[in-house]
Amino acid sequence: MEDTEKKENFSEKDLPKDIQNEIKEEIISEIENKKSETGQEIFIEDLPYWTRIAILEEGKTFEILLDMHNGQDDFSAGNIYKGKIVDVLPSMQAVFINIGSEKNAYLFVPSRNKIEKYKSGDEIIVQIKKESIDSKGAKVSDNPTIPGKYVVLTMEKKIGISKKIASNFEKARIRKILAKLENEIKSEDIGIVARTEAQDTPEDLIREDFERLLKIYQEIKEKIKNYPAPTLLWSDSDIIRKAIRDYSSLRLKRVVSNSEEKLKKAQEYIKEFLPGVHENVKFELSDSPFIFQKYGIEEDFQNALKDEIEIEGGIKLVFNETEAFTAIDINTASFTGTENLDITAYQANLISAKEIVRQLRLRKIGGIIIVDFIDIKGQKLKRKLFSEIKRIIEKDKERTKIFGITRLGLVEISRKKSGYSLKKILMSKCPTCKNGYVSSDILKIHETILKISKYQGKIVKVSPENFKILDDIVKKLKLDVRLQIKYGLGKWEVAI
């Protein structure tokens, strides 16, 4: 809206009575939730074709991590390589680099003047920012970073603090700690950036984290000297390590897995990154291989791949991911609210905003996001809505910025991209219509295995085309099911 940026004095007393009551109910609800809060939970499901990790806060899924077991060399986002430049295209501001993968990695150079420093045949240290997908090679950066729980080591001289740390007192405290650490690496061409997690974290834990990263950096330096290009210098592909390092908090209460090996790994990483928390965490080994299904997470995972989902109150959210941006439309559908249209729109928008932020995290959507909120005529309610959306967005771990509400009720959001969205990883463009998306084979395998698992103690018939791969998975999971070939069935059909 045009006057979003104006600073006008208004309080909750200026709002309609219905909204004032709603705010009071929200505060009471938050107090009640704190009394019965379950804290943070991590669920690790290890299946023959993938490993999935879900991070739950107060019983709600907010993050899903995925590692597919495709039998290929692991060129994951975060990995650091010593590569060799094979081509430089000044007109495209592009440098192509051999890092040992099937397709050359791609480095975009933002300044045409700087592209002259890249020469074919030169060796270069790069880090994967976006993994290879379809016909595209991996997108890389020539400014690698090594992330820890509380700080990040950069391969250039710099000192920084996360912009999400707002307190000036806390910034000053962290700056003093970083200054001490910087003093210890004066002879090295590296820097330190404090992550948001560093806020209110004791100095000794920040130092431990820094020393871990410094050890990794020294190992990378040795490999750079002793190994020819292309070579992997450091791998960040351990999904459990990433989950504990990047998403776990002091509120972690429970870790559940269907794999004893993965559960032990999680214990080790929690000891490493959250030394004071380990003793209070409950570790559970599940008797079911399908723990996402057992604990109600499978529905969240499947919904994160849908274009349209129904949320609280019968409201529908429609997601349209394009190359340029993601558009999100809100449809009140069966939502009734109150007799006052503005208040009904406000309530529907607020419910939607909370779920949209959660969906952005689950779907791993980044870049430009346009949300078509339901139009509100009253300026006070518009400002209140904008304020609430800002508050909700601040909880997102990724760097996210909201730019305002236009006259048409559109909200512009930018969110840091961290790899491809879940949909682009697990689905591909429909080969027939070229517009819609179809499930990948790995997603179809998973859906078929879930169907088969429902028929314990029975003979299940499958198509000859997929019999071997499905039979291998059934045996590895030790399901009490016997598969038989049946001709005439569709590729992913099952029959009893």
Task: Identify the residue with better confidence: 122 or 36.
Answer: 122
Q: What is the pLDDT of residues 268-295, one digit of tens each?
A: 999 999 988 989 999 999 999 999 999 9
Strand partners, 152: 147, 193
pLDDT of residue 396: 85
- d(CA 288, CA 267) in angstroms, rounded, equals 20
Q: In what side-by-side order are the strands of the sheet with 481-485?
A: 481-485, 458-462, 494-495
What burial class does residue 226 get, using C-beta atoms within 10 Å of its C-beta: 0-12 exposed, 13-18 middle, 19+ buried? exposed
pLDDT exceeds 80 at position 15: no
Please report the pLDDT score of residue 341 as a whole number.
83
Task: Report the pLDDT value the prediction gives residue 37, as an integer from 0 to 100.
Answer: 62
Q: In the predicted model, is pLDDT for residue 258 greater than 70?
A: yes
pLDDT band at residue 17 under the 50/70/90 scheme: low
Residue 399 has what pLDDT?
87
Would you state the pLDDT for residue 131? 86
Q: Would you say residue 434 has pLDDT above 60?
A: yes
Q: Which among 217, 54, 233, 51 is positioned nearest to 128, based on CA atoms?
A: 233
pLDDT in tens, 158-176: 899 998 898 999 999 999 9
What single-letter amino acid sits at 175?
Answer: R
Answer whether residue 27 shows pLDDT above 70: no
Q: What pLDDT, on the 0 to 100 scale, is given for residue 10?
A: 42
Residue 474: which of 330, 289, 334 has the closest Cα? 289
What's 420's DSSP letter? Answer: -
pLDDT score, position 18: 60
Task: Express each pLDDT in 377-419 by its tens digit.
Answer: 888 888 888 888 888 888 888 889 998 887 777 899 999 887 8
- Tokens standing for residue 49: 């074709």
Higher pLDDT, 1 or 148: 148
pLDDT digits (tens, 9 = 90+) for 146-157: 999 999 999 999
Strand partners, 53: 44, 65
Average pLDDT, the chain: 88
Task: Give, for 371, the enclosing helix (H) or strand (E).
Answer: strand 367-372
Instruction: Calculate the alpha carbon distances from 441 to 427, 452, 491 in Å.
Output: 9, 16, 10
State the average pLDDT over residues 214-227.
95
pLDDT-derived band at 3 (thresholds 50, 70, 90) equals: very low
